[in-house]
Structures are given as C-alpha cells and as structure tokens.
C-alpha cells in the first residue's frame, strides 16, 4: 500500500544537465525546411487614427512571400470583454501596436519590406496615466466600448474603466462613525516590472492539410489554440498547438501573443513561418506587471482589532484589458487577505491608458497589494502604539475566520507561522548594526496568496517495459514541476520510480483541456488529474494481476516495479509481466483522470465582477528581513532574509527551496531596482538591459528557509503550489524595513537610491491621488461618478 510519504523526495531535475550544457532546444532554436522569417510593423505613436495603410510597394520587395493586416484577422479577443484586435483597426491605441506583419525568405528582407509599408496616421490626444484617463472629459481609449462583446456577465465597465470588481461586506459607514475607533489612511504607488525571461516570445507556425500547427513558447497551449481560432475566424479544431521547453515565463506567456500573426502568414505563404520578438520588443511591448495606485482606510478599535476597512485599487491595464480584467478579482484575496476584517469595502479597477498593455506576472496583483497592506499595517501600529508583530499575531486570519468575501477559512496557519518566525529570529540573532554609519532596519510581514485551480486532464499509458507515459497539456516553464512533482505523484501511485515516468510535451491534439501553467496550479491541478489517471491505471493493473496470481486485488501492492502479495516480499510478478498479460487478455493498460475547482463559496451578495469569489487553496507566507541604508547615497543593502512558507506537504523540499531563493531574488529587483517609466511620447523609456536594472550576483542574499507543513489543502497528497508565493512579500518586507530604518513614510516602490535619498532629505511630498475620491462610493461605477459617460 502506497502512502503520501512515498512521493516525498529530493528528486533532481532530469533536464538539468541538458539545460546547463546548452542542449535543450527551445522554440527560439527551432528551424524547419523552407521556413520564412517574419517581423511586425509597429506603430510609433500612442494614439492616432489610421488614415491609410499601403502595402503595394512592400509586396514587390525581394523575398517577400506574405503580408498580413487587419483584413486577415476579423475577430477580437480578451478576458471578460473582447476588446483586443490582432492588428490595430482604424485606430492606434499604444506605441508599438502591430499594424502589419511580413514574412520573407530572410529576416533582413522582412525588415526591409516592413519599412516599405506606407502608413498615414492622424495623431489623436493620448491619456498616458490613470489620472489622465479618469479625469472629467478625458479622451476615451475605446470610444466604441459599448459595442464590445461581454464575455463574463457581472462586471461593471464604462469609458476608460475596462473592468471593475467590488467587495462589500458589513456596514463600514457605521464602523467609521464609531467614536471609539482610530482611523488610519494610507496611499501607495508602484511601477511596472518586466519579466525578462531569457527566451523571448517565439513561434513557428505552419499550415498543412487545412489545419494550423503552432509550435510556441507559451504557458497556455489551449488559450493559444482558442484565441488563434477566434481572431482568425476558424473552428478551434483547425488549430494544433505544441510546446517545447520554455525558456522562462513568469506570467509573460500566459496569453496568446505572436501565434496568430505567424499562423496567418503561414496560411498565406504556404510555408512555415518563424516570428520571434527582439529584446527591445520584449522591453517596449511586453505584458509587464502593471503599475498601480492604492488607497486604504482602516478603523481600529481599542483592543487593536480591525473593525472596518475601505480600499481603492487602480490598475493600469494599458491599451487593452487583457489579464488585468481578471486580476481585478485578486484584490479581494490579497489586499483583502492576511487579517480578520469586521466590515469591508474594496473596489479594484482596470483602467485603460494609451500605453503598452500589461499582463500577469508571478504573484500577479499580490506583490503590490501586499506591499500596500503591510506598509499600511505598520502605519496602523505606529498610530496606535502597538508592536507590529503583536498586532499581526492578534489579527491574522485563523480557523473559521471570514475572508473579505465572506468565505470561511480552514485551519490556523498564519499564527503558527509567525510563531515559527519568532523562534527563527531568536535562534539567529539580528545582524549587528552597521559600524559605518548606515541606518539599520528590520521588519516582518505576512502575505496571503492562493492556488489557481480550474480544469486539468491527464492520461497515462502503461508501457510494455513497465514504465508509464504521462500525457497532459502541462508545460515545463523552467520551474521543474513537470519533471519533478508530477513524476513523483504518478510513480508513488504505480509503484515505480520517478525515472520510469515519461512526461510528454504539451500537444493539444493528444492531451485534454488545461487552464494553463501558472498561479502555482501545476502540482495541484495537473497533479490531481495525474494522480486520478494513475489510480485508474492502478485499478486495471491490479485486476489483471489478481487473475494472474489468483489473489484478491486488495491483497496486492505495487512496489519497485512489481505487483506483490502483501506481506510476501519478492512474490508476484513484475509490472512488465502483468502488462504483457493484459495485452493478451484485454489490450493495453491506460487510464485517464480529471480535476477542476471544488468551488469554495463566498458569502452571497458580497462580491461583484469577480472571476473567483472565494479561494480554494490559500497559501500563506511570513517574511523577515534586515537592511542597511546608506545615509549619503540612499543605497539599500539587504543584510539577511528569512522565509517561512506554507507548502501543505513538501513533495520535493530541495526544489521548493530553489523556488523560494529565486522568488526572493526576483522580489529584490522589484523592491529596489527594476523601474519602467513612460515618456511623454507614450513609449517605455527602458528599452534594453543598459537602462533596466535587474539584480546582479552581488545583490543576491542567501535566504534562510523554513517550510511550514500540515495546512489544509485539496492538492494531491496535501500539496500546494510553491513557485508563485515566494515573491509575494519581498517588496513589502524590504519597504517596511527601510521605513523602520529611516523613520520615513515609504509609499512607493521601487526603492531606488535616488528615491530613498529623497526620502532621507525630506524632498518627497506625500502622495496625493485627486482622481481617487475620498468617498468610497464615488469610485464605483453606478455610484454617481463614472456613469457620466
């Protein structure tokens, strides 16, 4: 009989050697006979009317085989609202928007032909900030927004508000009117962050036998399939998507991007087409983590409990709604997470601007909302004179507590995690205060994340040699889940070693539907489907073995590639022998499994415009860091960093440690270095690694890690996804530590040296958001304000 512990091991990555030695072939490395090279012609203005677009001269250029424009892609796509055409149609909405695509024999010929396309544009007023977009009488990024198809009912949208999600639970008006409460108000702002995955977005497409074959670097093969079909106006069955190894993603590739362009050019030319973004295109037009503006207002009673909270979160989605429409949902569970709230009102708005669209990024929405929430928490503690750790212990979510949307949480998780961090701090005393005059600060923060579940499917074939082949639409994006936890789960169910489990690359023609790889869902959703498929195979295998061995199935066990009679080691037969018998009497042994979200419920009537009202698998994190701040330069050095992470059951502790170390480093970049700014021309100013600062080797700090196991989870074997949450608290923890070190009010990230120095010199005015009204209702569509258009 297998047990969950059978799946737990520090399994090395089977793909590590090939990746380290450069043998892994990514999409960007692919080449096929007769392949053409494609480029996109992009707009160089943020807002304009397209007067004309003439491709005649370009079509006569040497080597040109196909040119595509908006006439070739009639459909629009999107999340929640179908607002996004493939090419700009009649109107340019951001600098870098595709106007046409060219395929030619060589890349140089394609570039020359694209330059020969004659485009006449009539400039239009642009709104480049959310303040501009929400101003009275602001130009509309989408004047025809009313005509767009709504794909999810329930969300409010109007004018430059692409989507709005709200939470209302309890009576905050009465709470804030109480004479015994202390009211604390805070404002915060964050910038954009580039994913900077090593492999840019890349695709090779072909058109054969009336079908499109798209080989692409993506996290979401089924999304690529369905969106490509939608914008091309063909049935989804005419599109096949396969995915080689992916050279990093972090959410960048959680959408359909280049694939339809290459597919159109492949059909028009009759030849395979390769389309790859340059690094500059990745920097200027990629789906960055969105910039946001946040206000929070809390009422605290005499016992130090949060009896009321109101918050407004504005998220810049850029020219199209994209992932940000979905991410408005997240505010309820990130900014509305961590703590018990007596009453709450939250509104999260995705706002259109004439800038490059934004998208999902590791712990999307959570990083900046956790930064805002934890800084606000420290400001509360300062206002009421309570120790920050004690305040958190007193108020964190526990067993049977209500979340913001009224869901009931199970298990006491954050409290024991805070206790463990306290012990960890005591075991290893704080780093000595810098002797060079730098300012020393320390902070501990908490964070709430959750695992995206949703539908996944798996099929397992038991092979003649006793090995198993796992077929899913899962994608190996570099995290290792596809080659570590999934083989571990399947092997433990079938009595094999993980090395005996072959994992097929994603192919929508071979595998069932899957929501995609991201949000920590691979181990949970695909893992659960894989375990169900393995259980199906196991039942069939034991049935055949029972007949062979004349022993009831319940007396048989699978162990080390054998079917044995329980209690009689060495008895029975090898799995290969049983498979051979199955071939003779019933045919090959295969099994299938599926999984979808179980549907944890929220309180009726609390949430509106949400894609997820309640979270099926919450994941918690506690971070602690120590910093030194240079008084003269504003440079922040992280001296020590600690993490206690909720993992449910750690199937591969070493792999989880790697994810935590990597996530913290990525968070260091977000907190201290990585800054994207928009110029007056609407173009992102940081177009290369010369102008976009990321963490370097000397910036990396070793992370002290404790894995907190045992929290409730519906994941297979009690597991939770571990790759998303490590970045969640980093900016919050560093910002709180810098505020503690300097005694200054930290309201904005990243904390670059110039920004910190300005704080130290008292040259940073308090944030003011005149476009966010003081009355919470005035920030809600239908509340008397935004319904004006």
| Mean pLDDT, the chain cut into blocks of 10 residues (789 residues total) | 81 94 96 97 98 98 98 94 97 98 98 98 98 98 97 93 97 98 98 96 97 98 97 97 96 96 98 97 94 98 98 98 96 96 98 97 97 98 98 97 96 97 87 87 97 94 98 94 96 97 96 93 96 98 96 95 92 96 96 90 94 94 98 97 98 97 98 97 95 94 97 95 96 98 98 98 96 96 44
Region of 762 (left: φ > 0; alpha: ψ -120 to 50; beta: rest) is left
Distances (CA, A) of 612 to 200, 362, 407: 30, 18, 11
Task: Tell the residue number behind the tokens 């005149």, with chain if given.
Answer: 770
Q: In the numeric block, which tokens belong to residue 267?
A: 């059909």
Residue of 257, 133, 141, 241 whose CA lies nearest to 195: 257
Strand positions, DSSP E, 93-225: 98-104, 118-123, 149-150, 156-158, 161-169, 182-190, 202-208, 211-216
Contact between 534 and 462 under an 8 Å Cβ cutoff? The reply is: no
Neighbours of 268 (CB within 10 A): 17
pLDDT value of residue 1: 53
Q: In the numeric block, which tokens belong to residue 462?
A: 């038991």
pTM above 0.85, yes or no: yes
Helix (H, G, I), strand (E, B) or coil at 186: strand
Residue of 296, 21, 310, 282 whose CA lies nearest to 175: 310
Contact between 88 and 43 under an 8 Å Cβ cutoff? The reply is: yes
Task: Tell the residue number behind the tokens 């009689």, with chain if given.
Answer: 568
In this structure, what DSSP letter does residue 734 have?
H
φ, ψ for residue 521 (rounded to 5)?
Answer: -90, -10
Helix (H, G, I), strand (E, B) or coil at 582: helix
Report the DSSP pairing between strands 292-300 and 573-574: unpaired
Percentage helix, strand, coil, to 5, in the chain? 30, 25, 40
Q: Do you find a cis peptide bond into 750, omega within 30 degrees of 0?
A: yes
Report the DSSP pairing between strands 64-68 and 36-42: unpaired
Compute the half-sphere exposure of residue 207: CA atoms within 13 Å on the CB side of its CA: 18
pLDDT value of residue 784: 31
pLDDT value of residue 422: 95
- 563 vs 577: CA distance, rounded Å: 9
User: How many Å from the N-terminal Cα to the C-terminal Cα in the chain?
Assistant: 65
**What are 40's strand-pairing partners?**
101
DSSP string, 633-656: T--EEEEEEEEEEEEES-SSHHHH
DSSP string, 246-280: -S--TTTTSS--SHHHHHHHHHHHTS-EEEE--HH
pLDDT value of residue 785: 29
Residue of 577, 595, 582 whose CA lies nearest to 535: 595
Contact between 166 and 776 under an 8 Å Cβ cutoff? The reply is: no
Report the DSSP pairing between strands 344-352 and 306-318: parallel
């Amino acid at each position: 009989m297998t047990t969950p512990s059978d799946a737990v091991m520090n399994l090395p990555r089977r793909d590590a050697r090939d990746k380290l030695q450069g043998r892994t072939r990514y999409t960007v490395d692919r080449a096929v006979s007769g392949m053409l090279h494609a480029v996109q012609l992009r707009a160089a203005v943020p807002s304009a009317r397209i007067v004309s677009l003439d491709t005649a001269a370009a079509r006569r250029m040497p080597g040109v085989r196909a040119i595509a424009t908006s006439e070739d892609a009639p459909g629009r796509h999107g999340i929640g609202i179908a607002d996004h055409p493939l090419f700009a149609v009649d109107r340019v909405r951001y600098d870098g928007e595709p106007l046409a695509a060219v395929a030619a024999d060589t890349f140089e010929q394609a570039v020359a032909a694209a330059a020969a396309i004659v485009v006449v544009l009539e400039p239009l007023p642009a709104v480049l900030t959310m303040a501009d977009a929400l101003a009275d009488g602001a130009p509309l990024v989408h004047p025809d927004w009313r005509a767009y198809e709504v794909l999810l009912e329930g969300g409010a949208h109007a004018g430059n508000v692409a989507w709005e999600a709200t939470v209302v639970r309890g009576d905050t008006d009465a709470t804030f009117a109480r004479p015994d409460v202390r009211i604390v108000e805070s404002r915060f702002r964050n910038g954009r962050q580039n994913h900077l995955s090593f492999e840019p977005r890349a695709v090779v497409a072909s058109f054969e036998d009336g079908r499109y074959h798209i080989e692409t670097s993506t996290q979401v093969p089924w999304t690529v399939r369905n969106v490509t079909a939608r914008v091309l106006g063909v049935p989804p069955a005419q599109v096949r998507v396969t995915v080689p190894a992916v050279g990093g993603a972090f959410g960048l590739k959680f959408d359909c991007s280049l694939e339809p362009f290459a597919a159109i050019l492949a059909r028009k030319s009759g030849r395979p087409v390769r389309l790859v973004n340059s690094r500059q295109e990745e920097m200027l037009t990629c789906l960055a983590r969105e910039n946001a503006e946040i206000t929070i207002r809390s009422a605290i009673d005499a016992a130090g409990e949060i009896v009321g909270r109101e918050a407004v979160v504005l998220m810049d989605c850029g020219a199209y709604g994209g992932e940000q429409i979905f991410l408005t949902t997240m505010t309820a569970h990130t900014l509305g997470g961590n703590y018990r709230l007596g009453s709450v009102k939250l509104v999260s708005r995705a706002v259109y601007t004439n800038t490059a669209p934004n998208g999902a990024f590791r712990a999307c929405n959570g990083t900046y909302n956790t930064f805002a929430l934890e800084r606000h928490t420290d400001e509360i503690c300062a206002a009421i004179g309570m120790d920050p750790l004690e305040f958190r212990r007193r108020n964190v979510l526990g067993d049977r507590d209500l979340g913001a949307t009224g869901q009931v949480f199970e298990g006491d998780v954050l409290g024991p995690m805070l206790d463990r961090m306290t012990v960890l701090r005591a075991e290893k005393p704080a780093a000595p205060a810098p002797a060079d005059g730098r300012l020393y600060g320390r902070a501990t923060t908490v964070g709430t994340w959750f695992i995206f579940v949703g539908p996944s499917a798996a099929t397992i074939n038991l092979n003649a040699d006793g090995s198993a082949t796992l077929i899913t639409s899962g994608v190996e994006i570099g995290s290792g889940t596809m080659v570590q936890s999934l083989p571990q789960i399947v092997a433990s169910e079938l009595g094999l070693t993980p090395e005996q489990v072959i994992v097929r690359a994603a192919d929508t023609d071979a595998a069932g539907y899957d929501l995609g790889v991201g949000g920590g869902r691979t181990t949970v959703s695909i893992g659960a489907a894989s375990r169900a498929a393995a259980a199906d195979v196991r039942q069939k295998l034991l049935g055949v073995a029972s007949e062979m061995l004349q022993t009831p199935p319940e007396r048989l066990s699978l162990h080390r590639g054998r079917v044995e009679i329980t209690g009689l080691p060495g008895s029975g037969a090898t799995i290969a022998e049983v498979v051979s018998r199955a071939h003779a009497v019933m045919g090959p042994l295969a099994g299938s499994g599926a999984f979808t979200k179980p549907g944890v419920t929220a309180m009726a009537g609390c949430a509106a415009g949400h894609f997820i009202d309640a979270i099926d698998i919450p994941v918690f994190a506690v971070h602690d860091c120590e910093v030194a701040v240079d008084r003269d330069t504003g440079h922040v050095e992280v001296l020590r960093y600690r993490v206690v992470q909720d993992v449910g059951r750690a199937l591969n502790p070493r792999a989880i440690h790697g994810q935590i170390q990597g996530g913290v480093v990525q968070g260091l970049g977000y907190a201290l270095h990585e800054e994207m700014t928009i110029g007056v021309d609407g173009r992102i100013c940081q177009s290369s690694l010369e102008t976009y600062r990321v963490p370097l080797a000397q910036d990396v700090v070793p992370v002290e890690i404790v894995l907190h196991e045992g929290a409730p989870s519906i994941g297979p074997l009690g597991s939770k996804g571990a790759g998303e949450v490590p970045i969640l608290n980093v900016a919050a923890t560093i910002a709180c530590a810098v505020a503690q070190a300097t005694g200054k009010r930290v309201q904005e990230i990243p904390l670059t040296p110039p920004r910190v120095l300005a704080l130290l010199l008292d040259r940073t005015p308090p944030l003011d958001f005149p476009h966010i009204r003081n009355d919470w209702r005035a920030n809600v569509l239908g509340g008397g304000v935004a319904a004006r258009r």
